[in-house]
């Protein structure tokens, strides 16, 4: 701030001169009576004072060094294919938690674990002598080659191992080799396979198993662009009624665009949850998880390999966090 000295015949004259020169807002800092009777006032120029203050503000201030733990969180999220938005939201959650250093990753895991909803376990009622049980029907839908049949076989094997009576219906009756593939997988767990081409046949096939606790339905892979086939599939499945769960199977190796297209198209089949497959084939599964979070889809199962006897996991919040931060189920 610059200080000017203005001399006048007396105080009034000195103040008038100061105002004329530096405006009405001139700041009078002091006054002094001179030996000859004149008065000198010291004033500060308010416009310059303001400019000086602004200049001081515009001088780059030293940026505080970013917390080391936040760098680690950002690095691992980027490695797993996370978007800018996901990184920013997670770092925000870490900052709000107050966690620092190595604890930042724990705080990130906590935030990410709850970012995707988990589907409840399928409602499979236990059979009891003399009690009529409504079987739980689970249909697997999705684009071609994503792992629908393999996932069905994995779940069937698990259910049979835990003593459940399981029936399998194939609605993939046209693709050469599809039924044979399913029969081969089913025979390993001594389970019957019935065929169904439409909704009425599906109803009959479900009823044909006697009293199973669970019926798993394999469907043909459909292109997300084939809206006629998707509508027909949705209609056929709707014939099953209330006890139906429809799992949309998506492979973690797909692009965000492909996942988004599948989500939109397969809405015609009214999925109740998602199954993510081929998690073993990528270390960047964040896109599919982010799509699930954005769509508020619920995750039912996660698959990370081809082995029917293994590689099927019930989705859990800790798996979601592992996938975001490590790129795999730990
Ligand atoms: N690496 C890996 N491969 C998988 C996984 N799940 C399925 N596969 C493989 O993916 C290929 C296709 O699997 P299917 O189960 O036939 O896929 P689908 O969706 O039934 O295919 P369509 O009926 O032709 O639409 C097979 O080679 C499976 O072994 C998985 O989690 N990881
Ligand atoms: Mg199949």
Residue 97 shares a structural domain with residue 186: no
Residue 295: pLDDT band with limits 50, 70, 90: very high
Specify the number of domains making up the chain: 3
Spatial contact of 281 and 120, defined as CB atoms under 8 Å apart:
no
Distance 65 CA to ligand 2 centre (A): 53
Residue 214 shares a structural domain with residue 286: yes
The whole-number pLDDT of residue 187 equals 79
User: Nearest residue CA, atom 6 of ligand 1?
Assistant: 147
87 φ/ψ sector (left φ>0, alpha ψ -120 to 50, else beta): alpha
At which of 38, 58, 78 does a domain end?
Answer: 58
HSE at residue 270, side-chain half, CA atoms within 13 A, is: 15
- Which has more pLDDT, 301 or 58? 301
Residue 125 shares a structural domain with residue 208: yes
The whole-number pLDDT of residue 272 equals 96
Give me the residues near ligand 2 (ion), CB cutoff below 5 Å.
148-149
Match 């690095």 to its residue by tokens.
Answer: 75
User: Nearest residue CA, atom 21 of ligand 1?
Assistant: 145
Mean pLDDT, range 310-329, rounded to an integer: 97
Convert the pLDDT of each residue in 40-78 to its tens digit.
878 776 665 455 445 455 555 555 567 789 999 999 999
- Which has more pLDDT, 116 or 49? 116
Q: Which ligand is nearest to the CA of 147?
A: 1
Residue 80 shares a structural domain with residue 166: no
| Average pLDDT of the chain, as a whole number | 89
Does a structural domain hold residue 275?
Answer: yes
Of all residues in the chain, the percent with pLDDT exceeding 90 is 63
Does a structural domain hold residue 217?
Answer: yes
Does a structural domain hold residue 63?
Answer: no
Does a structural domain hold residue 244?
Answer: yes
For ligand 1, mutation pick of 306, 307, 308 (most atoms within 8 Å of CB): 306
At which of 113, 128, 143 does a domain end?
Answer: 113
Q: What stretches of the chain show up as alpha helix (H) in DSSP?
A: 11-22, 46-58, 68-79, 84-97, 103-113, 148-161, 178-187, 199-208, 227-238, 256-265, 286-295, 317-326
Residue 169 shares a structural domain with residue 224: yes
Question: For the packed helices 68-79 and 103-113, what is the interaxial angle rounded to 10 degrees?
Answer: 50
Of all residues in the chain, the percent with pLDDT exceeding 70 is 91
The whole-number pLDDT of residue 53 equals 47
Least confident segment among 36-45, 104-113, 141-150: 36-45
The whole-number pLDDT of residue 25 equals 72
Q: Which ligand 1 atom lies nearest to the CA of residue 178?
A: 23
Least confident segment among 131-140, 169-178, 280-289: 131-140
Residue 214 shares a structural domain with residue 266: yes
Mean pLDDT, range 262-279, rounded to an integer: 97
Q: Which ligand is nearest to the CA of 221?
A: 1
Residue 106 shares a structural domain with residue 251: no
Specify the CATH number for the domain of residue 244.
Answer: 3.40.50.300
Residue 30 shares a structural domain with residue 91: no
Does a structural domain hold residue 223?
Answer: yes
Distance 82 CA to ligand 1 centre (A): 25
User: Nearest residue CA, atom 24 of ligand 1?
Assistant: 145
Residue 22: pLDDT band with limits 50, 70, 90: confident
Convert the pLDDT of each residue in 181-231 to its tens digit.
988 888 777 788 999 999 999 999 988 887 788 999 999 999 999 999 999
The whole-number pLDDT of residue 263 equals 98
Does a structural domain hold residue 298?
Answer: yes
- Which residues' Cβ are closer than 6 Å to ligand 1? 142, 144-150, 172, 178, 221, 277-278, 280-281, 303-306, 311
Residue 317 shares a structural domain with residue 168: yes
Residue 51 shares a structural domain with residue 96: no
Residue 277 shares a structural domain with residue 167: yes
Distance 327 CA to ligand 1 centre (A): 20
Q: Which ligand is nearest to the CA of 313?
A: 1
Does a structural domain hold residue 281?
Answer: yes
Q: Give the H or E element holding residue 119.
A: none
Is pLDDT of 106 > 60? yes
Residue 2: pLDDT band with limits 50, 70, 90: low
Q: Which domain holds residue 195?
A: 117-326
Does a structural domain hold residue 35?
Answer: yes
Residue 314 shares a structural domain with residue 294: yes
Q: Which ligand 1 atom lies nearest to the CA of residue 218?
A: 20
């Amino acid at each position: 701030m610059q200080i000017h000295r203005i001399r006048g015949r007396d105080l009034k004259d000195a103040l008038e001169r100061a105002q004329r020169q530096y405006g009405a807002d001139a700041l009078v800092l002091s006054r002094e009576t001179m030996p000859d009777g004149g008065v000198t006032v010291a004033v500060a120029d308010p416009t310059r004072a303001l400019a000086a203050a602004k200049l001081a503000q515009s001088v780059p201030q030293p940026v505080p060094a970013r917390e080391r733990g936040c760098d680690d969180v950002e690095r691992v999220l980027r490695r797993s294919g996370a978007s800018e938005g996901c990184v920013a939201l997670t770092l925000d959650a870490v900052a709000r938690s107050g966690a620092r250093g190595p604890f930042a990753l724990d705080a990130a895991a906590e935030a990410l674990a709850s970012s995707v909803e988990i589907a409840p376990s399928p409602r499979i009622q236990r059979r009891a002598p003399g009690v009529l049980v409504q079987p739980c029907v689970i249909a697997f839908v999705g684009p071609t080659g994503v792992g629908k049949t393999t996932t069905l076989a994995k779940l069937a094997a698990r259910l049979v191992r835990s003593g459940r009576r399981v029936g399998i219906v194939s609605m993939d009756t046209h693709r050469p080799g599809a039924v044979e593939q399913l029969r081969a997988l089913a025979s390993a767990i001594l389970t019957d396979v019935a065929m169904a081409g439409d909704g009425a046949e599906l109803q009959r096939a479900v009823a044909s198993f006697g009293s199973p606790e669970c019926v798993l339905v394999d469907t043909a892979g459909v292109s997300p662009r084939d809206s006629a086939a998707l509508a027909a599939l949705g209609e056929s499945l709707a014939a099953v009624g209330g006890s139906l769960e429809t799992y949309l199977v998506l492979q973690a190796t797909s692009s965000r665009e492909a996942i988004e297209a599948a989500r939109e198209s397969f809405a015609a089949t009214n999925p109740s949850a998602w199954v993510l497959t081929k998690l073993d084939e990528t270390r960047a599964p964040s896109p599919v998880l982010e799509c699930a979070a954005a769509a508020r889809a619920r995750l039912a199962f996660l698959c990370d390999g081809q082995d029917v006897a293994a590689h099927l996991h019930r989705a859990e919040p800790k798996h979601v966090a592992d996938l975001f931060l490590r790129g795999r189920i730990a």
